[in-house]
Amino acid sequence: MAYERPNITALSAYVSGEQPADGRTIKLNTNESPYPPAPKVLEAIATITGESLRRYPPPTAAGFRAAAAQVHGLDASQVFATNAGDELLRLVLTVFTDPDKGGRGIAITEPTYSLYRVLAGIHGASVTATPLDEEFSIPSTWATTLAGSDVGVAFVVNPHAPSGRLESLDTLRGIAEALRGRGVLLIDEAYVDFAEQSALPLLTPDSGLDNVLILRTLSKGYGLAGLRFGYGLGHPDLIASLDKARDSFNTDVIAQAAAEAAIRDQADAREKWSLIVRDRALLRDALRARGFVVPETQTNFVLATVPPAGPDARSIYEDLKAAGILVRYFDQDRLRDKLRITVGTPEQNNTLLAALDRILKTEKV
Amino acid sequence: MAYERPNITALSAYVSGEQPADGRTIKLNTNESPYPPAPKVLEAIATITGESLRRYPPPTAAGFRAAAAQVHGLDASQVFATNAGDELLRLVLTVFTDPDKGGRGIAITEPTYSLYRVLAGIHGASVTATPLDEEFSIPSTWATTLAGSDVGVAFVVNPHAPSGRLESLDTLRGIAEALRGRGVLLIDEAYVDFAEQSALPLLTPDSGLDNVLILRTLSKGYGLAGLRFGYGLGHPDLIASLDKARDSFNTDVIAQAAAEAAIRDQADAREKWSLIVRDRALLRDALRARGFVVPETQTNFVLATVPPAGPDARSIYEDLKAAGILVRYFDQDRLRDKLRITVGTPEQNNTLLAALDRILKTEKV
């Protein structure tokens, strides 16, 4: 196209999981929560009036930020509200990396959340990709490599997608220290609500770090993928930098009210997280009993290697889809023999397992 | 800050009009509609369920786009839904101009909506600014200048802010033709709901133009500044280019429902536009009778030059503010003797006029 910048023309757009419009499909493919948001979220939405819609919203989502700061034991100046995690990722690139291969690019490990590479392509930032170790762990040499680089931002999704693996605080601290003074470490905690540990301790003053940003989202743990609300946590100077580049009123008045209600109701959220963690173990065991290899996961999904003797992963994905069950198949290196399956309700998980039994049995005959 | 790109450090952030949190201030400073959105908007919001919030939203706002296409007599492929007009402006820069002074920059006339320059600063695009003629009209030489340039996007707000003046279709066509094949003309129609004419005819196939994008917003004409919903209209190829660069699910499920309800209820919107157009004339006449110079306006605001004999514009702004009425004062060239006043309800306008009478009388004594 005549008018586009060349990097936009060259772009491979981000491909999200399928989103069927019908309400019948069992969607275990995009890591949505199987549970709706807290009732208080709908109550908050019901308080919205024509008068509040008529006016511009609070520009920095002050109410939400105060609530999030309280939940995380931080100051509101360390909280940045965004249109889902995606906006935070984009702003991090805009603010801390050079466009059009200008020097400071991004560093990622692979496989990882594929949007990082897409966003770098839109901005024009260069991408340095390092393969993860065999079990999808970060190579111990990565920090050293970063220390000698001019990387503007390193992106780490932790717990990792699509494997579900959790990296230690020490590993993350080592990466941040390697980048300190030149680059930012973005820790994407999209799935942290289902994990044993967060990187929040790296934000305390005694960590000595000023270059760590943590991404959070309400899409997974709070049952609010439809709301597009996320937030960043980090050093006030990093937040102030991002604040200069965001759209003037980047989150709307309804989303702010809903998000604030969601994060204030930690009891409701924690109850749902514990159900998902419980059912994740049941699903893992049930898949293992059927011959899948399923590593430990700290997310709301499992990455299951299909049994070697049976049909391949793509064909199981297709058969499940024909049965009205969507799971995620990635046609990329290291993932072609695997399925990423979101933990659903007990009923959904059982429906999946029954379908798998039929598929595996049929194909073996 | 060590981590920012230099252009972010150099940035002068966008300054929006004051947004007091109290409900008592009469806000005639940010061009919000004085009327709430259509009742059907609140009905649409009330239909939102936990289940619809739990899932990812329709990625391209298909329901809204179909409705907008119908209203404007276009195809849905010519409609692009965004988080307010701001997101469209940002994406236009991202997609069609070079960052870090790479060549294809933006062209603006001045004064204009100050956000264009801020967004260019964030992206790093170069800015070529041409002064408007005495009555805030676009100089007839601008098209010729653009024809010999490497401009990626020319931004024209029409009707013009802050003057309210409407440029002719011929002028806009001339600019688009001058840029054709190299650059895009973005016509910002944020205020078009209050104008006699839109640039929509430039989007028909027989216009011979493939480089015109029109910005619309629900913030002003639909009483939805709090919702952050806007849209672009243009050639399907331009829309496809923008589509590659937007966040994956850029508008949320509640906003999509509310926006679709708003644009479908043209009868409600038109009724409110006609009230505002009626009261704009009354306000204009009343200000003229008090010695203000008030040119014709096609927006929901007037740009009034204060009477030369009385207090200056800034002091009137301050006195109004002390009286609980906010209007907009711009401390910049060609605007320091003027106030931009949003048309309010009849009652708000009368309160403003009574306050002006007190202020002008007091200061003259």
Cα A272 to the center of its chain, rounded Å: 18
Under an 8 A CB cutoff, do B247 and A49 touch? no
Residues B177 and B251 in one domain: yes
Of the residues B214, B231, B265, the one at which a domain ends: B265
Measured between its terminal Cα atoms, the distance across chain B in Å is 52
Structural domain contains residue B1: no
Nearest to A56 among B123, B226, B254 (CB): B226
Whether residue A283 has pLDDT greater than 80? yes
Residues A271 and A251 in one domain: no
CATH of the domain at A167: 3.40.640.10
Structural domain contains residue A299: yes
A182 touches chain B (CB under 8 A): yes
- Run of H or E residues at B277: helix B266-289
Of the residues B236, B265, B294, the one at which a domain ends: B265
Instruction: Give me the mean pLDDT over the B26-43 stretch.
Output: 97
Structural domain contains residue B127: yes
Cα(A346)–Cα(A280) distance, integer angstroms: 10
* Structure confidence at residue B363 as a pLDDT band (50, 70, 90): low
Q: Residues 213-242, chain B: which have Cβ within 8 Å of A?
A: 219, 223-229, 237-238, 240-241
Residues B306 and B348 in one domain: yes
State pLDDT tens for residues A255-278: 999 999 999 999 999 999 999 999
Whether residue A115 has pLDDT greater than 50? yes
Of the residues A240, A265, A290, the one at which a domain ends: A265
| Nearest CA-CA partner of B84 in A56, A8, A49, A256 | A56
Cα A288 to the center of its chain, rounded Å: 25
Q: What phi and psi values does residue A26 have, to the nearest 5 degrees? A: -85, 110
* Structure confidence at residue A17 as a pLDDT band (50, 70, 90): confident
**Which residues contact residue A195 at a Cβ distance below 8 angstroms, ignoring those fewer than 6 apart?**
A159, A166, A189, A298, A299
Under an 8 A CB cutoff, do A228 and B211 touch? no
| Nearest CA-CA partner of A79 in A67, A91, A89 | A67
Under an 8 A CB cutoff, do A32 and B56 touch? yes
Nearest to A1 among B21, B35, B237 (CB): B237
Residues B188 and B272 in one domain: no
Beta bridge partners of B293: B305
Structural domain boundaries, residue A126: 39-265
**Which residues contact residue B293 at a Cβ distance below 8 angstroms, ignoring those fewer than 6 apart?**
B304, B305
Structural domain contains residue A226: yes
Local structure of residue B57 (DSSP, 8 states): P
DSSP letter for each residue of A4-51: S-HHHHT-----PPP--SSS-SEE-SS---SSPPPHHHHHHHHT--HH
Residues A299 and A196 in one domain: no
Nearest to B52 among A46, A184, A226 (CB): A226
Res A363: pLDDT: 55
Residues B16 and B86 in one domain: no
Instruction: Give me the mean pLDDT over the A68-95 stretch.
Output: 97
State pLDDT tens for residues A300-355: 999 999 999 999 999 999 999 999 999 999 999 999 999 999 999 999 999 999 99
Res A331: pLDDT: 94
| Nearest CA-CA partner of A305 in A315, A321, A291 | A291
* Total number of domains constituting chain B: 2
DSSP letter for each residue of B67-80: HHHHHHT--GGGEE
3-state SS, B128-147, equals EEEECCCCCCCCCCHHHHHH
Report chain B's C-alpha Rg in angstroms.
Answer: 21
Instruction: Give me the mean pLDDT over the B77-104 stretch.
Output: 94
Residues A232 and A145 in one domain: yes
- Run of H or E residues at A216: strand A212-217
| Nearest CA-CA partner of B154 in B134, B137, B174, B168 | B174
Cα(A175)–Cα(A211) distance, integer angstroms: 10
Structural domain contains residue A67: yes
Structural domain contains residue A1: no
A122 touches chain B (CB under 8 A): yes
Residues A134 and A206 in one domain: yes
* Structure confidence at residue B13 as a pLDDT band (50, 70, 90): confident
Whether residue B20 has pLDDT greater than 90? no
* Structure confidence at residue B365 as a pLDDT band (50, 70, 90): very low
CATH of the domain at A310: 3.90.1150.10
Cα(B117)–Cα(B44) distance, integer angstroms: 36
Whether residue B113 has pLDDT greater than 90? yes
Residues B290 and B248 in one domain: no
What is the SS3 assignment for B238?
A: helix
State pLDDT tens for residues B116-175: 999 999 999 999 999 999 999 999 999 999 998 999 999 999 999 999 999 999 999 999
- The one-letter code for the residue type at B238 is L
Structural domain contains residue A122: yes
Residues A252 and A338 in one domain: no
What is the SS3 assignment for B49?
A: coil
* Residue A260 token pair: 């604030």
Res A365: pLDDT: 44
Cα(A320)–Cα(A26) distance, integer angstroms: 10
Partners of residue A122 in chain B, C-beta under 8 Å? 94, 244-245
Structural domain contains residue B274: yes
What is the SS3 assignment for A234?
A: strand
Whether residue B273 has pLDDT greater than 90? yes
Question: How far is CA A219 from each of CA A80, A91, A251, B347, rounded to the nearest angstrom?
Answer: 16, 19, 15, 44
Residues B105 and B243 in one domain: yes
| Nearest CA-CA partner of B243 in B252, B232, B254, B253 | B232
Helix residue spans in chain A (DSSP H): 6-9, 39-46, 50-54, 62-72, 84-96, 115-123, 142-147, 169-179, 236-245, 253-264, 266-289, 313-322, 346-364
Residues B355 and B234 in one domain: no
**Which residues contact residue A365 at a Cβ distance below 8 angstroms, ignoring those fewer than 6 apart?**
none
